[in-house]
Structure 1
Amino acid sequence: MIPQISFSRPVVLVSRCLEFEKVRYDGQVIHCQAVRDLESFVDFIKVCPEVDIGLGVPRDTLRIVKTKGEYRLVQPKTGNDVTEKMDEFTDSFLEELSEVDGFIFKSKSPTIGIRDIKVYSGLSNAGVIERGSGFFADKLLKRYSGYPFEEDDRLRNMRIRHDFLTRLFAFADFRETLGSGNMEQLVEYNRRYHYLFMLYSQSLANKMNSLIKGSEGVAFKEVSWEYFSLLKEVFSNHPFSKSYVNMAQNIYSGFKEQATAEDDFLFNDVINLYSHNLVGVGAVLEMLKFFVGKFASEASAYSRFFEPYPAELKMEVDPGRDKDYWEHFHF
């Protein structure tokens, strides 16, 4: 049986217009289910760069304009250039930002959007010449390279949301481990997360193991920061179906001597169904959880592999499962 585990409480920087305040340019608040779901599990730091530099609500829209190789943040309707104000605010904000584990930003925003933000060649009747990050977001992406960043619209996707939450809670857990200054806690962190890291990258997970095993006599700060670099590198990868199959085979191989012919049949049958996309990854994980509970002497070592974040944050697999599609339809 996998023991109950507790989770560190992540600190998340979030766009203030997502579920919190009517600070969007049109005076609206944006619904984001992921933010709403997280409210009981994280501490939010809220920011709206436009309002924080003194622009009102509602307000004229902003756009990024590139002229003579320079990027400017301008309100096209009036020509109001707020580039310097935004740069000064962002630099000041970064200086004051202390603990943070992840970021959820509003998509398509010329200040806080992460990806695919339009850059124009001029203020009016000008085409899009390139795409990048928002003025505010760009500096945070550079300062916190490798950290969990996502946008509201992408977090509607089950796989993207799962990956973001996995990274977010791993980062929060590591921050607390780092704050302890205790090598034993770093060893324990690595033990809890090893199988999860193996799912993302077996070679990097093995490097992390080697680093921990060779840490005797090395200062905690030196080991922990090298470990953190590997942690960020691990999560630069993203597991696909083959990753889950390989990991399932890796875990099950440790139980081969104890497993029966019936166990082998069950394992191979579920893996075959999953490989042909006839069952979801949840079926694979539940099967592995059964075998770990049955055979493993240290089931707690698998805890973050099976539960990388609180179960309450999982999305429904089939939201319309109990809907009656045949109601009032008779023939």
Structure 2
Amino acid sequence: MRDYPRPVVLVSRCLEFDKVRYNGQVIPSQIVRDLMPFVDFIKVCPEVEIGLGVPRDTLRIIRQNGVYHLIQPKTGEDLTDRMNAFTISFLENIGHIDGFIYKGLSPSMGVNDVKVYAGASMSPVVERGAGLFAGQVIARYAGYPIEENERLRNSHIRHHFLTQLYAFTTFRQVNEECSYEGLHKLHKNNRFLFMSYDKAVFTEMSELLLKETETRMLLHDYGSLLKKLLKKPGSLELKLYAARNMFSVFEGTSTEESSFFEDMLGRFSSNRISWDAVIEVMRMFASRSFGEDAYEDTFLYPYPEELKAPADDKREKDYWDK
């Protein structure tokens, strides 16, 4: 089996860890629980870090004359400068990081759906955006895997986040080692995964590796393209394109097997079988062709199997029990 790298993930401290939410509660998070054996978490609650207690009065973001403020309506205190100062200091000293999981809707940690009000009280919502802490993280770590706990309940969003997270972690390790050979190995192991995301960007990455470029500059340019490539998943057509490309390199496939494979892709296209079913069949062909080396291919094995979302979390439910 493949040895996966160990990502470093910044997480809202109220998710599974400590009772630091404004109401003194801890929030259950399936994705955080699942990741605990596989990642190193850096926990943070910006509101506690700037000196607010637990429990505490709620906060809100207001926009006045185009300027955003973090306000505690009950006290009227403006906490903007304290939050910004903490965020800058924290990010300057955080070290390497591979991904982020935040509590949604939080005025400090929410990613993209935080309410912004016209005033401190009795005022309408004028827009939605990121919390003050999360907004600076997004600006500094543009292109990185950044998600909210609530969204990660969706299996498709979860799969993309984990795929992105492990690709970034692998690249970070290659980048730290400044390894030319490591970068070429990364590209080879990810070639089918990358072409399933964006064919044009994957081509750019492949052409970049053919240039005579100093290794540090090569890694910098490759990393920029990696962020662009993995910003969002590719289309169904790109998945099929990558699957056919991988199938073409399998050794010893018969005419009957090729026909079966095409029929299977047709059933996937018409939404009769899942993508997981396609991948399982491709894993069988890959194992026959490549042996243990098949586990290195990230199109088939993008992250540890233990992190896959349940195929059917209600499988054992007895619908006939009276």
Shorter-normalised TM-score: what interval? over 0.9
Residue deviations 1:26-75 (CA, integer Å, cap 9, x gap): 00000110001101100010000000000000000000011122111001
Deviation per residue, 1:2-36 (Å, 9 max, x gap): xx211110000000000000000000000110001
Q: Does 1:288 align with 2:285?
A: no
Deviation at 1:92, TM superposition (A): 0.7
CA shift in 2, pair 1:312/1:148, >3 Å: same
Distance 2:2 2:296 in 1: 11
Confirm whether residue 306 of structure 1 aligns to residue 303 of structure 2.
no
1:113-172 deviation per Cα after TM superposition (whole angstroms, max 9, x unaligned):
101111100111100011111001111100000000000000100000010000111111
The DSSP-based 3-state class of the residue aligned with 1:231 is helix
2:122 corresponds to 1:125: yes
- Measured in 2, the distance between the counterparts of 1:302 and 1:295 equals 13
Aligned to 1:42: 39
1:158 correspondence with 2:139: no
The structure 2 residue matched to 1:137, chosen from 131, 134, 138, is 134
- How many Å apart are 1:252 and its aligned residue? 2.4
1:60-95 deviation digits (Å, cap 9, x = unpaired): 000001112211100111111111111111111111
The answer to whether the aligner puts 1:178 opposite 2:175 as a matched pair is yes
**Matched residue, 2:267:** 273
Unaligned segments of structure 1, at least 5 residues: none
Bigger mean CA deviation after superposition, 318-327 or 165-174: 318-327
Q: Equivalent residue for 2:196?
A: 199
- Larger CA deviation: 143-152 vs 285-294: 285-294
| Alpha-carbon contact 1:146-1:232 (below 8 Å) kept | yes
Separation in 2, partners of 1:311, 1:267:
23
When the two structures are aligned, how many residues end up with a matched partner? 322
Match of 1:315 in 2: 309
Contact residue 70 and residue 132 of structure 2 kept, 8 A: yes
Q: Specify the alignment match of 1:18 in structure 2.
A: 15
CA distance in 2, matches of 1:17, 1:326: 39
Counterpart of 1:306 in 2: which secondary structure? coil
Would the aligned equivalents of 1:177 and 1:185 in 2 still touch at CA under 8 Å? yes
The answer on 1:227 being equivalent to 2:210 is no
- For 1:69-108, what aligned pairs fall within 5 Å after superposition? 69-108=66-105
Point out the more displaced range, 131-140 or 186-195.
186-195
Q: Are residue 249 (structure 1) and residue 235 (structure 2) matched? A: no
**Aligned equivalents of 1:133, 1:95: Cα separation in 2:** 20
Superposed CA offset, 1:208-254 (max 9, x none):
12211224xx3211000000001001101312432222222222234
**SS of residue matched to 1:304:** coil
Tell me if the contact between 1:192 and 1:301 (Cα under 8 Å) persists in the aligned partners: no
Match of 2:88, SS state, is helix
Contact 1:191 1:301 in 2 (8 A): no
* CA displacement 1:242-271 (0-9 Å, x = unmatched): 22222222222345x943231122112211
Cα distance, 1:291 vs. partner? 2.5
Deviation at 1:324, TM superposition (A): 2.0
Give the aligned partner of residue 184 of structure 2.
187
Maintained 8 Å contact 1:114/1:151:
yes
Question: Of 46, 53, 61, which residue of structure 1 is paired with 2:50?
Answer: 53
CA contact (8 A) 2:199 2:238 kept: no
Compared CA separation, residues 127 and 41, structure 1 to 2 (3 A) = same
* Residue in structure 1 matched with residue 166 of structure 2 by the alignment: 169
Structure 2-normalised TM-score? 0.96
Farther-moved stretch of structure 1 (290-299 vs 167-176):
290-299
Q: C-alpha separation between the residues in 1 aligned to 2:133 and 2:30?
A: 23
Q: C-alpha displacement at 1:108, in angstroms?
A: 0.2
Within 2, Cα distance between the matches of 1:319 and 1:34? 14
CA distance in 2, matches of 1:21, 1:297: 44
Q: Are positions 1:236 and 2:231 aligned together? A: yes
SS in 2 for 1:73: strand
How much has 1:299 moved relative to structure 2? 4.7
SS in 1 for 2:297: helix
Q: Does 2:256 correspond to 1:262?
A: yes
TM-superposed deviation, 1:192: 1.1
Contact residue 197 and residue 235 of structure 2 kept, 8 A? no
Residue 325 of structure 1 aligns with which residue?
319
